[in-house]
Amino acid sequence: MASRPIPTPSLVVLVGPPASGKSTWAAEHFRPEQIVSADALRGIVGEHELDVSATGDAFDLLDRIVAARLGRQLTTVIDTTGLDPARRAMYLAAAEAASVETVAVRFTTSAAECKRRNRERDHPVPTKALDQMIKKAKEVDLDGEGWSLVIEPEAVRTVTRKLADAVKAAAESGEPATALRFGLLVSSFDWAGGSEATAPTLARIARDAEVAGFDSLWVMDHLIQIPQVGRAWDPMLESYATLAHVAAVTERIKLGVLVSPVTFRHVAHLAKAIATLDVLSGGRAMVGLGSGSSEHEHRALGIEFGTRSERLALLEETLQALPVLLGPGGRRFDGELFAIPETALYPRPIQERVPIIVGGSGEQVTLRLAAQYADGCNLFGDPDTVRHKVARLRAHCVAVDRDPADVEVTHLGTVLVGSDSADLRDRINRLRPHDLGPDRFAERVNAGTVDDHVAGFGALVSAGVGTAIVSVPDVDQVGALAPFADLIERARSR
């Protein structure tokens, strides 16, 4: 049965009389540390969980715990009867101040069932008190109180706020997204087994990606691992040699570098590497180009970095020269930064034109270069950011009299995908650092089920994305890419 996504962080308030099933429902859908129970706290500060004399102290402690958790942006479930309107108003105000979503769960268990369950308790609520609370529960009107969401005790799952917004938007629009292509970025090689296991592990990843339905596989072009991914001393393979290995163990998947800094190689050397990869892969090469971003990497290895304007000028000239070097004939190329008397490199690529993608989203220069010279551009960010960048890209296309549809938009982001909630929970627990909680880690790696990500990627498609390139945190682990088979099929069928 499908479950309802609940954004995290959220404040979830259970509303219903004793013995209506609140604690059981909470335990089925939330972790123990997320639940703050008045009964449990009465058991701590009193003689037992229904020690009425300890109620004041228990609620004082409950309020302090809730305030502390909201202050830390943690999902919190308040397991009380929730029948006091003043306390509900207080919870709403506290959650709003903390910018946390609010969810009220309305329990409408019959009076007879509540009374039956109550009789089976070790410490039942007095009959008169239970009758009063059952009557009071029927009078509660949650819909007019300002909750973000009011639900019955149905199946739920917690998802990142980003994915929850996407699921909500997809449900409200009711419009199917167009088909989406998927690429896999392999950005780290710090795998179990060390250098001896690198080649077979990479081969397995590439074959699994092909089986799952990925259209392309990408690697970064760095000589030293970048801080966003790992440590400087972590292994980093040379990009084109790596893709040649992948070409030998796959048959269909396209192969690309995201992105090659134009500062690393002379354009003729770059063209030779690309052409070689295209020939060895049977015409599957793609290339991403960028101006270079890691000054530390350049300085550490004695490579000229240059100013930003110098690098962008070099990028533009490389975008002009590369198609000449990879194209037919042997035309001379004369630019402002370099001249190439003979551009006849052999063997020529198998593809008539090797697709070139510009990495970066600078609105004034980078997107203009993509519009003028490239076959695509790679963007980052949430759907609203992407939508804005795509609008600027299209404006640049119009300015150079080019059809915007000729420039594909790709999007790079990290995702962790579970086939269902249980699988996702297991992946999060296996991967997260010991000092980082499940919810914060889930947000960091954009974790969600296949259902969540179908909606999430749909939002990117609506913003103008044609290919989603994903970095997968557990990519080296067996079965990591299995959920993508379902995700990719569903994204395409939309």
Which residues pair with residue 219 across a beta bridge? 186, 257
Query: What is 459-485 written as a DSSP string?
Result: HHHHHT-SEEEEE-TTTTSTTTTHHHH
Buried b (16+ CB within 10 A) or exposed e, 228-262: eebeeeeebbebbebbbbbbeebeebbbbbbbbbb
Residues of the chain with CATH 3.40.50.300: 4-154
Radius of gyration of the chain (CA): 28
Please report the pLDDT score of residue 1 as a whole number.
52
Helix orientation angle between 55-71 and 85-97, rounded to the nearest 10 degrees: 20
Domain boundaries for CATH 3.20.20.30 within the chain = 181-493
For residues 159 and 103, the answer to whether their CB atoms sit within 8 Å is: no
DSSP letters along 33-92, please?
A: GGEEEHHHHHHHHSSSTT-GGGHHHHHHHHHHHHHHHHHTT--EEEES----HHHHHHHH
pLDDT in tens, the chain (494 residues): 578 889 999 999 999 999 999 999 999 999 999 999 999 999 999 988 878 899 999 999 999 999 999 999 999 999 999 999 999 999 999 999 999 999 999 999 999 999 999 999 888 889 999 999 999 999 999 999 999 999 999 999 899 988 888 877 776 665 545 689 999 999 999 999 999 999 999 999 999 999 999 999 999 999 999 999 999 999 999 999 999 999 999 999 999 999 999 999 999 999 999 999 999 999 999 999 999 988 999 999 999 999 999 999 999 999 999 999 998 877 889 999 999 998 888 999 999 999 999 998 889 999 999 999 999 999 999 999 999 999 999 999 999 999 999 999 999 999 999 999 999 999 999 999 999 999 999 999 999 999 999 989 999 999 999 999 999 999 999 999 999 999 999 988 76
4-154: which CATH topology? Rossmann fold (3.40.50)
Instruction: Measure the CA–CA gap between 420 and 385, rounded to whole angstroms.
Output: 29
* pLDDT value of position 97: 96
pLDDT at residue 63, rounded to an integer:
96
Closest by Cα among 479, 397, 450, 476 to 203 = 476
Contact 78, 66 (CB under 8 A): yes
pLDDT of residue 293: 87
Q: Is 378 exposed, middle or buried (0-12, 13-18, 19+ CB in 10 A)?
A: buried
- The phi, psi pair for 407, rounded to 5°, reads -110, 105
Q: What is the pLDDT, as a whole number, of residue 51?
A: 81
Residue 347 confidence (pLDDT) = 92
The pLDDT score that the predictor gives to residue 173 is 66
CATH H-level, domain 181-493: superfamily = Luciferase-like domain (3.20.20.30)
The CA-based diameter of the chain, rounded to the nearest angstrom, is 98
Length of the chain: 494
Across the strands, what pairs with 254?
216
pLDDT of the residue at 172:
67
Residues with Cβ within 8 Å of 80's Cβ and at least 6 positions away in sequence, in order, are 14, 37, 38, 59, 62, 87
Rounded-to-integer distance, Cα 262 and Cα 267, Å: 8
Give the H or E element holding residue 25: helix 22-29
